[in-house]
Amino acid sequence: MHRIDNDLLSVQEARILVENAREAQKVLAAFPQERLDKIVRRMAEEVLKYAKELAVMSCEETGFGRWQDKFVKNVFVSDFLYKKIRDMKVVGIIGEDKVNQTMDIGVPVGVIVALPPSTNPVSTTIYKTLIAVKSGNAIIFSPHPKAKRTIGKVLDILIRAAEDSGLPSGAVGYLRTLAHDGTVALMNHPDTSLILITGVPKLVQAAYKSGKPTIYGGPGNGPAFIERSADIKKAVADIIASRTFDYGVVSASEQSIVAEECIADEVRRELKRNGAYFMSALESERLSKYFYRRDGSLNPEIVGRPAYELAQRIGITVPEDTTVLISEQKYVSPTNPYSREKLCPVLAFYVEKDWRNACEKCIELLINEGLGHTLIIHSQNEQVIREFALKKPVSRVLVNTPATLGGIGATTNLFPALTLGTGAAGGGYTSDNISPMNLVNIRKVGYGVRQLADVTNVGWVGEVLNNGNHSPAGESAHDLKELLEELVKRLRQCGNN
Ligand SMILES: CC(=O)SCCNC(=O)CCNC(=O)[C@H](O)C(C)(C)COP(=O)(O)OP(=O)(O)OC[C@H]1O[C@@H](n2cnc3c(N)ncnc32)[C@H](O)[C@@H]1OP(=O)(O)O
């Protein structure tokens, strides 16, 4: 009974939120870029003040990750991302080609439905709100139930700051009565235009079923290949820093290491020097039992937990400062959790004879899970790097950098984003690191610059038509002559002769 009431209330609330957002967006759509920018700036400045408090709150509410790293992510979006988008021209006339006489006009998509994940609730919510308002859109969040207090607080801070600086009321909103039906009602409402979903694998199908354009930042399974020419010390330090960041919850993070045989022992030694613990086959087997729930989904109990705690769970005594748990593996399979995304500081370790075999292994891992997401290579050999980049079914190839930070555009010059597109390979429609430009349509303006006759080479067309042998329909020479005369007549009628 309670569930039914909750579902009904949630659906009703969803309808009201969309109606308010639709009206607010009409006002917002008329704002020039400068006015939107002022609001974005106020939101970024205000939420930055709460970066630490929200990081702590997020860990307390969800149990996922490390507050210090969440604090870094919150600062990253409120400061670095903000500065990156500050001078971007996204709406109105955003491009003009005086020579070719064309113009591009950025047009907001309308009302966006956003789902943030329980693993990055604060930073993803800040990021989505900033890029949505920057691009003149309204945005309605359906908070993840596991992080609803935290997401509610982030949004209250953002909404207060935004409305104080002129955002029409209702342009940023969120569902307070959380229920599956309310979220689906937001997705299916005829007045919502686009769904921006990060994590939450269980609701992706509902988003696709709505028939709306859906941008999904989904699971990764990035293999990190260490090639013989790599700076091994740096490669290992990068991987450890990345895999331990926020206890492994970022989807771009390394899930396995693929080492070239001739350097494998050195890599193992370096990993151990960096606090890694290599599990025995038995220990690996014991830990593997915890990875999935009965329905095959990832078990939240191991997500975003430190290596030491995971070791305790299977009764292994390891030093408290153990950074990652590593399992030596040979094979890739959907039933082998070590060859899939793990969202915690656990890595698989594969050894391959040379870079070509490593290349195959990486592809096998990506086909197993994480198609379209991310791959990492540590190498000084530009030729191998390029071969890798050309062949891998991923949307981002990260070179000599920690993947967690490289994928989200902190240590690389990729766009700073917490929703990473996986392209057609990953079942989505964009492979971008999602930016405000993904939230507008580009209206193309083209001035008349030539006449139809200018693009029609009558002489050449005549030559082709008169060559009866090449006529697919087998028309007679007489028919073709008539066709040509008709073409010339049409060009004249257009006043173009
Ligand atoms: C750059 C980046 O890092 S992007 C982040 C990418 N991250 C991911 O892809 C992580 C993928 N996430 C997961 O695998 C899971 O969310 C886990 C393992 C982290 C956590 O699992 P859980 O705690 O069980 O949370 P899960 O997301 O599955 O949701 C739990 C329930 O809440 C529901 N739920 C989640 N969000 C909403 C919402 N907005 N509205 C209504 N219901 C929701 C889910 O449908 C699910 O319902 P069910 O249990 O009845 O099927």
Distance 342 CA to ligand 1 centre (A): 14
Which residue would you say has higher pLDDT here, 480 or 289? 289
pLDDT of residue 471: 53
Average pLDDT (366-391) is 95
pLDDT of residue 485: 85
Domains recognised in the chain with CATH numbers:
6-217 (3.40.605.10), 223-406 (3.40.309.10)
What is the side-by-side order of every strand in the sheet holding 138-141? 172-174, 138-141, 111-115, 194-198, 214-217
pLDDT of residue 482: 82
Cα–Cα dist 252/375, whole Å: 8
Report whether pLDDT(22) > 60. Answer: yes
Distance 141 CA to ligand 1 centre (A): 14
H or E element at residue 86: helix 82-86
The answer to whether residues 184 and 99 touch, using CB atoms and an 8 Å cutoff, is: no
Give 114's strand partners.
141, 196
Cα–Cα dist 369/339, whole Å: 8
Q: Is 123 in the pocket of ligand 1 (CB under 6 A)?
A: no
Question: What number does the ligand 1 atom closest to the CA of 64 have?
Answer: 19
CA dihedral 401, 402, 403, 404 (to 10 degrees): -140
pLDDT of residue 395: 97
pLDDT of residue 475: 60
Distance 454 CA to ligand 1 centre (A): 57
Give 377's strand partners.
225, 399
Report whether pLDDT(470) > 60. Answer: no
Cα–Cα dist 120/61, whole Å: 12
496 Rama class: left (phi>0) / alpha (psi -120 to 50) / beta: alpha
Report whether pLDDT(357) > 90. Answer: yes
Rounded-to-5 percentages of helix, strand, coil across the chain = 50, 15, 35
46 Rama class: left (phi>0) / alpha (psi -120 to 50) / beta: alpha
Report whether pLDDT(472) > 60. Answer: no
Which residue would you say has higher pLDDT here, 496 or 65? 65
Can you tell me which residue has the tokens 């793990």? 342
Percent of the chain exceeding pLDDT 70 equals 96
Which two structure tokens, joined as six digits, stand for 177?
């009565």
pLDDT of residue 2: 63
DSSP code string of 95-122: EEETTTTEEEEEEE--EEEEE--SSSHH
Please give the span between the terminal C-alpha atoms of the chain, in angstroms, as a whole number: 76
In Å, what is the CA distance from 373 to each residue of 64, 117, 239, 365, 415?
22, 17, 17, 12, 15
Distance 49 CA to ligand 1 centre (A): 28
- CA-nearest residue for atom 34, ligand 1, is 144
3-state secondary structure at position 95: strand
Average pLDDT (277-297) is 93
The answer to whether residues 169 and 195 touch, using CB atoms and an 8 Å cutoff, is: no
Cα–Cα dist 139/458, whole Å: 53
What beta strand segments (E) does 46-159 contain?
Answer: 92-97, 102-108, 111-115, 138-141
Question: What number does the ligand 1 atom closest to the CA of 202 have?
Answer: 45
363 Rama class: left (phi>0) / alpha (psi -120 to 50) / beta: alpha
Global pTM exceeds 0.90: yes
Phi, psi of 220 (to 5 degrees): -105, 180
Per-residue confidence band for 456, with pLDDT thresholds at 50, 70 and 90: confident
Distance 92 CA to ligand 1 centre (A): 36
C-alpha R_g of the chain = 27
Residues 6+ away with beta carbon under 8 Å from 373: 218, 219, 220, 221, 222, 251, 252, 366, 394, 395, 396, 420, 422, 426
3-state secondary structure at position 327: strand
Query: 458-466 and 477-493 are packed helices; what angle lies between their axes, rounded to 10 degrees?
Result: 160
Average pLDDT (470-487) is 71
The answer to whether residues 183 and 159 touch, using CB atoms and an 8 Å cutoff, is: no
In Å, what is the CA distance from 376 to each residue of 31, 274, 276, 398?
41, 19, 19, 5
Q: Per residue in 49-93, pLDDT tens?
A: 999 999 999 999 999 999 999 999 999 999 999 999 999 999 999
Q: Per residue in 121-147, pLDDT tens?
A: 999 999 999 999 999 999 999 999 999
Report whether pLDDT(490) > 90. Answer: no
Per-residue confidence band for 29, with pLDDT thresholds at 50, 70 and 90: very high
pLDDT of residue 495: 67
Cα–Cα dist 392/371, whole Å: 9
Report whether pLDDT(460) > 90. Answer: no
Report whether pLDDT(116) > 80. Answer: yes
Q: Is 3 in the pocket of ligand 1 (CB under 6 A)?
A: no
The answer to whether residues 440 and 90 touch, using CB atoms and an 8 Å cutoff, is: yes
- CA-nearest residue for atom 48, ligand 1, is 202
Q: How many CA atoms lie within 13 A of 320 on its CB side?
A: 0
3-state secondary structure at position 297: coil
Distance 198 CA to ligand 1 centre (A): 9
Q: Per residue in 146-200, pLDDT tens?
A: 999 999 999 999 999 999 999 999 999 999 999 999 999 999 999 999 999 999 9
